[in-house]
Amino acid sequence: MKGKIAVVGLGYVGLPLAILCHSKKFDVVGIDIDPSKIDSLKRGKSYLTDLEDSEIEQLSKSKHFAYSSNFSTVKEVDTIVICVPTPLNNKAEPNLDFVKKAFENMLPYLKPHQLIVVESSTYPGTTEEVLKPMLEIEGWEIGQNLYLGYSPERIDPGNQLFSLANIPKIISGSSLQCLHVLQDVYKEIFNELVPVKSTKIAEMTKIVENTQRFINISFMNELSKLSENLDIDIWEVIEAASTKPYGFMPYYPGPGIGGHCIPVDPLYLKWKAQELGLKTDFIDLAKKINDEQPAYIIERINRLVETGGKLLVIGLTYKKDINDLRESSSLPILEGLIDQGYEVQYHDPFIAQFTYHEVVYYHQDISSESLADYDCVILLTDHSQINFTLIEQKSKKVFDTRNCLDTTLPHVYKL
Ligand SMILES: NC(=O)c1ccc[n+]([C@@H]2O[C@H](COP(=O)([O-])OP(=O)(O)OC[C@H]3O[C@@H](n4cnc5c(N)ncnc54)[C@H](O)[C@@H]3O)[C@@H](O)[C@H]2O)c1
């Protein structure tokens, strides 16, 4: 084996990374504070849609893979990779509690010459200004007897085209020596490394990638409203513009941007800018447009169906083919429609049930008969396994926010 790695936080990022490290011949221990996750993994059950139970079962049989909720295992490894959440607090500001807690938990077990790599997305300066001092105050000399690096995670759950090993990996160190130590380990795991000069640059790179998407998707949402008023199909415009061989990158409108990254990371940057007394007008505008999008979708439904009508919402998750509801705009849309007095049901093969105002809503199967029973079907998430042809053929009316259906049909309406 090539060495021992502890992956802290076994969610959408940490679990696939732990599996990749194992496949590259590292001894791996996965650490998570959520006992239900550890239990599920020990029983060979996957909680991620990208991973089959059989893959987890195989891992649990491996002598080189272990799961634990106990941080003392950290003393047995060479490298510790931190993949815990970095959400927003209730003031929409960075909440680094999970990262700080992970550091606090492992501090008593650190041993000389270990490498710590932070993969959680965060604002520029976190590694140097928040995390490094937590180690130094305990007497560690970073770059001398302990190594600290930052390497943003670029995984796209549900995306079958890019595997974790094939996505170029940005790496950075708290010092040159830290970068070299990180490089030596990560070159064994990832096909292409992209070293940058500082942890700040690596942190900013990740936020810039996601902020660019945030701003551009919001722009497309604004354009889709304008195009509707101009009686122009925005999807056809984007398709046509995409034929330009340079300078145009397609982004698409939708029901609103969700997930743990795209709507969150730009606000980390906004907070950092505010700390310096600077403005982030693009981010503010994109956030405003994104926040308004669920209300706009509801307004479009109001134009198609009278209040009290029976609606089927297709897709609760923020994007296709995953079971992640975090920041999903489907939720405010569904809730808003319920509040307005519509009779709302949903279909999402990835979400068995959902509670709103203490009422439990269950995933509904769709069939020719059931579809014909709704006054309107609202397509919010385009999971691959959904039968779009059946929806197109059997629904009385459909509102499609993902450009999946044939709009030449008179009962199909598009964003
Ligand atoms: N989900 C994505 O698509 C994605 C993509 C790129 C980057 N990221 C970033 O990666 C980080 C992790 O995101 P995620 O989607 O994997 O989150 P997640 O919620 O799916 O997983 C995080 C895991 O960390 C565990 N955890 C929390 N605190 C812990 C602690 N102190 N010690 C041990 N375990 C702890 C949680 O129980 C959970 O299982 C975030 O910073 C996120 O922004 C996410």
Give CA–CA dist 39/364, Å, rounded: 29
* Beta-bridge partners for 345: 312
CB atoms under 10 Å from CB of 252, counted, come to 17
Residues 191 and 217 in one domain: no
Closest C-alpha among 74, 84, 78, 82 to residue 107? 74
In a domain, 67, yes or no: yes
pLDDT in tens, the chain (415 residues): 789 999 999 999 999 999 999 999 999 999 999 999 999 998 999 999 889 999 999 888 899 999 999 999 999 999 999 999 999 999 999 999 999 999 999 999 999 999 999 999 999 999 999 999 999 999 999 999 999 999 999 988 878 788 899 999 999 999 999 999 999 999 999 999 999 999 999 999 999 999 999 999 999 999 999 999 999 999 999 999 999 999 999 999 999 999 999 999 999 999 999 999 999 999 999 999 999 999 999 999 999 999 999 999 999 999 999 999 999 999 999 999 999 999 999 999 999 999 999 999 999 999 999 999 999 999 999 999 999 999 999 999 999 999 999 888 999 999 9
d(CA 200, ligand 1 centre) in Å = 20
Residues 252 and 326 in one domain: yes
From the CA of 105, give the closest atom in ligand 1: 31
In a domain, 207, yes or no: no
Catalytic annotation, pick one of 21, 178, 261, 376: 261
Annotation marks residue 261 as catalytic: yes
Nearest CA to ligand 1 atom 15: 12
In a domain, 96, yes or no: yes
**Residue 380 corresponds to which amino acid?**
L
- The answer to whether 286 and 263 are in contact (CB under 8 A) is no
Residues 335 and 387 in one domain: yes
Number of domains in the chain: 2
Give CA–CA dist 67/235, Å, rounded: 46
- The answer to whether 317 and 329 are in contact (CB under 8 A) is no
Residues 163 and 287 in one domain: no
pLDDT at 407: 80
Nearest CA to ligand 1 atom 24: 9
Residues 64 and 168 in one domain: yes
Give the domain extent around 301. Answer: 212-414
CB atoms under 10 Å from CB of 260, counted, come to 20
Residues 181 and 260 in one domain: no
d(CA 297, ligand 1 centre) in Å = 30
Q: Which of 172, 197, 222 is the last residue of a domain?
A: 197
From the CA of 264, give the closest atom in ligand 1: 43
Q: Which of 171, 197, 223 is the last residue of a domain?
A: 197
Nearest CA to ligand 1 atom 37: 34
Which mutation among 7, 8, 10, 12 tests ligand 1's pocket best, with the greatest number of atoms within 8 A of CB?
12
From the CA of 86, give the closest atom in ligand 1: 41
Give CA–CA dist 95/84, Å, rounded: 11
In a domain, 222, yes or no: yes
Residues 22 and 117 in one domain: yes
Closest C-alpha among 245, 246, 243, 240 to residue 227? 240
Residues 230 and 146 in one domain: no
d(CA 121, ligand 1 centre) in Å = 9
pLDDT at 374: 98
Give CA–CA dist 65/361, Å, rounded: 38
Assigned token pair, 75: 């003393």
Q: To the nearest 10°, the Cα dihedral for 372, 377, 379, 380? A: -140
In a domain, 205, yes or no: no
Residues 247 and 187 in one domain: no
From the CA of 12, give the closest atom in ligand 1: 16
Residues 192 and 234 in one domain: no
Q: Which residues line ligand 1 (CB under 6 A)?
A: 8-14, 31-34, 37, 83-86, 98, 101-102, 105, 120-121, 153, 155, 157, 260-261
d(CA 228, ligand 1 centre) in Å = 38
Question: What CATH number does the domain containing 330 carry?
Answer: 3.40.50.720
In a domain, 368, yes or no: yes
From the CA of 34, give the closest atom in ligand 1: 37
CB atoms under 10 Å from CB of 120, counted, come to 24
Residues 256 and 362 in one domain: yes
In a domain, 202, yes or no: no
Nearest CA to ligand 1 atom 10: 120
Nearest CA to ligand 1 atom 18: 11
d(CA 323, ligand 1 centre) in Å = 14
Nearest CA to ligand 1 atom 35: 9
d(CA 73, ligand 1 centre) in Å = 19
Residues 191 and 216 in one domain: no
In a domain, 203, yes or no: no
pLDDT at 60: 85
Q: Which of 163, 197, 231 is the last residue of a domain?
A: 197
